[in-house]
Amino acid sequence: MSPNPNPTVSDAMLRAVPSLRAFAISLCGNVDRADDLVQETLLRAWANLSSFEPGTNMSAWLFTILRNLFRSEYRKRRREVADGDGSYADTLKTQPEQASRVEFEEFRAALAKLPQDQREALVLVGASGFSYEEAAGICGCAVGTIKSRVNRARTRLAELMSIESIDDFGPDRELKAVLSGGGGGNS
C-alpha cells in the first residue's frame, strides 16, 4: 500500500474525467484540444486543492475550472476558432450504433451552430446532469440567465432540427443543407 496523500480526491478527479472530456469537446469541438484542456484542468485543480471545500461537489468544481480555462484560452485564440460547422461533426469519428450516423451528424452540426453561452448551458443541464443552480455556479451567472440560455438553445435546435425533419419528406438533401446551413452564416 503506498501512502497516497489524497486517495479520495484523486479518485474523484479520475471519475470526473469522462464527463469533463464530454463537456470540453462540446466547448471546443476538437478532441485533442479538449483532452489538453482536461489535462490542464486536472493540473490546475491539483495545484489548488486547498481551495476546494471538502464535501462540496468535486465535479462542479472541476467543471468550473475547465470552463474558466477554456474561456481565457478562447479569448486568446479567438481568431483561429472561427470554423463553425464541420468541426464538431469531425471530432467524433466513432460511429454510434444506436442511431443513424446521418442523424448524429445533423445534430452535432446544429449544436455547433449555437452561441457558446447557450451551448454550454444546454450541455451542463441537459447532458451533464447539473441542476440550474449548479450550472449557474459553474458559469458564474444568475440561475435565470441559465434558464433562458437553455430555453433559447432548445428553441434554436428545434428550429434547426425541424427544418431537417420536415425536409426528410422531401426529395432533396441538398436543399436541406442550404436551408439549415445557408441562413446561419457566421452568426
Partner 1 sequence: MNDHNKPTGPKGPMAGSMQGATAHKRKSLNRETQIKIGAQLQMTYNEVVNQGVPDRFVQLIRRLETEAVEDAASGVGAGGLDGAKDTPSDKGS
- Residue ranges that bind partner 1, judged by CB under 8 A: 2-6, 10, 13-14, 17-19, 21-22, 25-26, 35, 38-39, 42-51, 61, 64-65, 67-69, 71-72, 92, 94, 96, 98-99, 103-104, 107-108, 111, 122-123, 126-128, 140, 154, 157-158, 161-162, 165-166, 169-171
**Which residue, 90, 81, 157, is CA-closest to 119?**
157
Of the pair 4, 148, the CB lying nearest partner 1 is at 4
Find the Cα–Cα–Cα–Cα dihedral 74, 75, 76, 80, rounded to 10°: 60
Of the pair 111, 135, the CB lying nearest partner 1 is at 111
Smallest distance, Å, CB 177 to partner 1? 17
User: How far apart, in whole angstroms, are the C-alpha atoms of residue 17 and residue 19?
Assistant: 6
* Pair 138, 122: CB distance under 8 Å: no
Smallest distance, Å, CB 82 to partner 1? 22
